């Protein structure tokens, strides 16, 4: 489970820089930045759902500060 979380975080960071490259080098009318933003939002929602399901099923235990 921790490996999947780490891979999702890594994928989110990679799409962040991929979107930045699309904005910097993008041609007018290109949809590359929009597609990478959509992918990044989807990955972030997937990570959130994974953490929420993990917490509710007992895989993760939130700590008290």
Q: Which residues touch 11 (CB under 8 Å, ≥6 apart)?
A: 43
Fill in the DSSP letter of residue 22.
H
Backbone torsions φ then ψ of 29, nearest 5 degrees: 85, 0
pLDDT at 43: 94
pLDDT in tens, 6-65: 999 999 999 999 988 888 887 777 788 888 889 999 999 999 999 899 888 888 777 766
Instruction: Return the number of other C-beta atoms located less than 10 Å from residue 47's C-beta.
Output: 17
pLDDT at 65: 67
pLDDT at 8: 92
Is the pTM here over 0.85, yes or no?
no
Q: Are 15 and 57 in contact (CB under 8 A)?
A: no
pLDDT at 12: 94
């Amino acid at each position: 489970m921790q490996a999947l979380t780490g891979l999702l975080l890594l994928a989110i960071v990679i799409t962040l820089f991929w979107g930045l490259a699309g904005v910097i080098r993008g041609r007018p009318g290109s949809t590359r930045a929009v597609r990478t933003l959509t992918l990044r939002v989807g990955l972030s929602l997937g990570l959130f759902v994974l953490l929420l399901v993990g917490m509710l099923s007992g895989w993760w235990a939130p700590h008290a500060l």
